[in-house]
Structure 1
Amino acid sequence: MIGSWRWNITLGLSGSLLTLLFSIGDNGPAITGLRCLYAFIVFFALAFPVRAALAVILKPRPAAAMRHAAAAEEQPKGQAIDYSTPEQGEELRELLHYQTDGNVTPESSQQSDFKPLSPPKLVSTQNKEPEELAKAIRHLTGG
């Protein structure tokens, strides 16, 4: 089982406290105390099956543990770091050469049709008729 008897005590006390909080307004102190005692006993007893179920659920399977151990022995991950970079000498040299000269790269020379985005201008409302503005506002507000 997972844990110790302290978990049973903790669960029993929490059940007893909840019973006290929900029962104190409707019952007298004697009835409330008796119900708190019953709740403690029930929650204490229920903690045993809960702990047993958690032990079964969280227990690693032997076959899975063996596979995990075998995989860990084959490839010790996180033990060594490879700082080497792949060789791209000629491509990198060519790219740096074109960038430092201010020329267009060979790949982008084929795409010389680039045009920046030109959004439409906003229309000013200074020279509009008041009736047109009121009609636009009514249209936007749905009125």
Structure 2
Amino acid sequence: MIGTWRWNVAFGICGSVLTLLFSLGSNGLAVTSMRCLYAFIAFFVLMYLFRAVIALILQPGAVPLAEESQSQDEARGIQVDMSTPDESDELNDLLKQQMDGNVQLEPGAQSNFQPLTPPKLVSTPNKEPEELAKAVRHLTGG
């Protein structure tokens, strides 16, 4: 069964509160309280049935005995190993080589690495205010 009895109680209380809100304006307190009790019981049972149906739907199917005797090739891909191999020693060696400047490339590989050299920004301290205002108007579309 999915969940616990607390879900049933919470759903029953929600049903009772809704019944109280909709029934209190047109009925007396005795009738409203009796309807709230009935609503609690009905919503409690409905939630129990809902949880039972969900448990049946989500229940994994039984594996027939014939499928249990599959060969290793047919069973491949059913289970996934989510662990990663421990490569901390290789990583430490690579970091040490990089710190020493002895980075060795794989055979036949060439290093095409070039550091990024962006153009430097140039300021214009001696521009006329009118030209700057024109540039701002042009950039803002105004």
Please report the TM-score for the alignment, with normalisation by the length of structure 1: 0.53
After superposition, what is the alpha-carbon deviation per residue over 1:58-108, rounded to whole angstroms, capped at 9, x for unaligned?
Answer: 3221118985xxx7xxx9x79xxx8799xx9xxx8xxx6xx85x5674669
Aligned to 2:63: 63
- Shift of residue 124, structure 1, vs aligned partner: 0.9
* Distance of 1:126 and 1:117 partners within structure 2: 28
C-alpha spacing 1:127/1:32, structure 2 compared with 1 (3 Å): farther
Give the alignment of 1:88-99 within 5 angstroms.
Answer: none
- Shift of residue 53, structure 1, vs aligned partner: 0.3
Aligned to 1:18: 18
* Distance of 2:45 and 2:126 partners within structure 1: 83
Aligned length: 121
- Shift of residue 142, structure 1, vs aligned partner: 1.8
Runs of 5+ unmatched residues, structure 2: 69-74
| Residues 1:133 and 2:105 aligned together | no
Give the alignment of 1:1-143 within 5 angstroms.
Answer: 8-20=8-20, 22-23=21-22, 26-27=25-26, 29-30=28-29, 32-63=32-63, 105=104, 110-111=110-111, 115-143=114-142
User: Greater helix percent: which structure?
Assistant: 1
Please report the TM-score for the alignment, with normalisation by the length of structure 2: 0.54
* Distance of 1:52 and 1:109 partners within structure 2: 62
* Distance of 1:8 and 1:106 partners within structure 2: 64
Question: Is the Cα contact below 8 Å between 1:23 and 1:32 reproduced in 2?
Answer: no
After superposition, what is the alpha-carbon deviation per residue over 1:27-75, rounded to whole angstroms, capped at 9, x for unaligned?
Answer: 45525434423422331331242132023123221118985xxx7xxx9
* Distance of 2:87 and 2:132 partners within structure 1: 67
Question: Is the Cα contact below 8 Å between 1:19 and 1:36 reproduced in 2?
Answer: yes
